Amino acid sequence: MWRLLAVVAVLGLSAPAAGAVDAGTSPRVLERVILMRHGIRSPTKAPADLARYASDPWPSWPVPPGQLTDHGRDTLRSLGGRLSQDLRDAGLPHDSCKGEVRVIADSTARNQASAVALLAGLSPGCAPVYQAFPVGQDDPLFRGAAAGDDDDGGGIQAAAIDTPILQTLAVLQQVLLGCHDDACLARAKAGGKQVLLGGDAAKALKTAGSLSENIMLGYVEGMPAAQYGWGRLDAPGVARLIGLHNASFRLAHATPAAASRSRGGTMLAYVTATLAQAAAQPTSVKSLVAPGTRVLVLLGHDTDLAAQAGVLGLDWHEATRADDYPPGGALVYDLVQTPTGKAVRLTVAMPTLDALRAGNMTAAGALVRQVLAQPACGGVTLCPVDRFVAVAASAAGSAVSAHAGDEPVVKP
């Protein structure tokens, strides 16, 4: 499992942190880019399509597969209000009504609905305005050279699957079928069910990552235990099972092999160019914002967060916050001014599962924040901006897609 990083208790996205560049000071934030996952959605497959994995029917959802729910909208509005205060606390502009915050969303319907909800909480006094390509058109900023909806995991090496993962797979099998012994599995197979144990471990983990996330989504949507876990799972059990989704994404996206894929590289190249513009540093690609715009929110997917972990070698797993890529979870890139120069600070701000279930992002403890060590910059938490630009260029590679930032303005 990922090593445990130092944890900073968070009450917002803007809490300052010390770093190797200027230990003991509170750097001033000059520019902020926030890469955020969309809000709470329904599973991307219908209950009938999931039926082969469980002995009991999967719960029905109030929206079609893969769409933002009403509870998801409410939660993102709450998160938008939290973000507004956090930006104020950091001394950053916070009024999207005045164009001070730019929002770019991926082209899926749930991401665009998430942009509307977040902006409604951030600046409730005006109509939301964001940028996105039409639904169904791949956005190279979020997808790179990849096409289609890949919210689930990719290729996984079976040799990387350890004993704790296999033990949690057995727990998930118990939840899905009500049993997991050999006789149970034989009966399930005879009845046309697909089982997770006894076969290809890599394929099983990819499937388990998706199934465990579907159970988690039912929990954070507010469903009773009889629905999200068929009465066989409590809240700590949900937290344990989501570890399968973490492991699936870690092995499929947040690894050196996955880091070479253009999805993460394209995002990193454009985010770096945006920070570099504010620091008067040259880069080979364009900034995503005009000069003077200091806050950018990118509404993407859990895959985008995992891909950034891969290209930069980041590790933000923390045992008290079960999900590494929860709905509304964010990776924050700050350009900061220190006494010795400009630097880049990376943090994560992740909602807890209980906070998502409650739908209140303003409560104390709703977000857990970590200031991240940057391995590619020598393990410091504040990487000098020229060094970060060089690191990012090396990590992103040459396969950087064009036309990112060309998304048209959307006024719902």
Distances 182 to 170, 179, 195, 287 between C-alpha atoms, Å: 12, 9, 11, 57
Among 109, 90, 110, 113, smallest CA distance to 34 is for 90
* 96 in Cβ contact with 80 (< 8 Å): no
pLDDT at 19: 36
**Global confidence as pTM:** 0.91
Cα 28 versus chain centre, distance: 25
Among 7, 31, 37, 4, smallest CA distance to 307 is for 37
pLDDT at 18: 33
Spatial distance between the Cα atoms of 154 and 274, rounded to a whole number of angstroms? 29
pLDDT at 147: 45
pLDDT at 255: 65
For CATH 3.40.50.1240, the residue range(s) in the chain are: 28-52+66-151+254-410
pLDDT at 199: 86
Spatial distance between the Cα atoms of 141 and 137, rounded to a whole number of angstroms? 12
pLDDT at 5: 29
* 404 in Cβ contact with 266 (< 8 Å): yes
pLDDT at 397: 80
pLDDT at 179: 85
pLDDT at 146: 52
pLDDT at 356: 98
State the amino acid at position 175 in one-letter form: V
pLDDT at 153: 40
CATH number of 28-52+66-151+254-410: 3.50.70.10, 1.10.260.40, 3.30.365.10, 3.40.50.1240? Answer: 3.40.50.1240
State the amino acid at position 302 in one-letter form: D
Per-residue DSSP letter, 96: G
What is the 3-state secondary structure of 286-355?
CCCCCCCCCEEEEEECHHHHHHHHHHHCCCCCECCECCCCCCCCEEEEEEEEECCEEEEEEEEEEECHHH
pLDDT at 262: 64
Beta partners for 8? 369
Instruction: Provide block-wise average pLDDT over 10 residues at a time, the chain (412 residues).
Output: 29 34 68 98 97 96 98 98 96 94 98 98 95 95 64 61 92 93 92 91 93 98 97 96 93 64 85 97 93 97 93 90 96 97 98 97 94 96 97 86 89 90
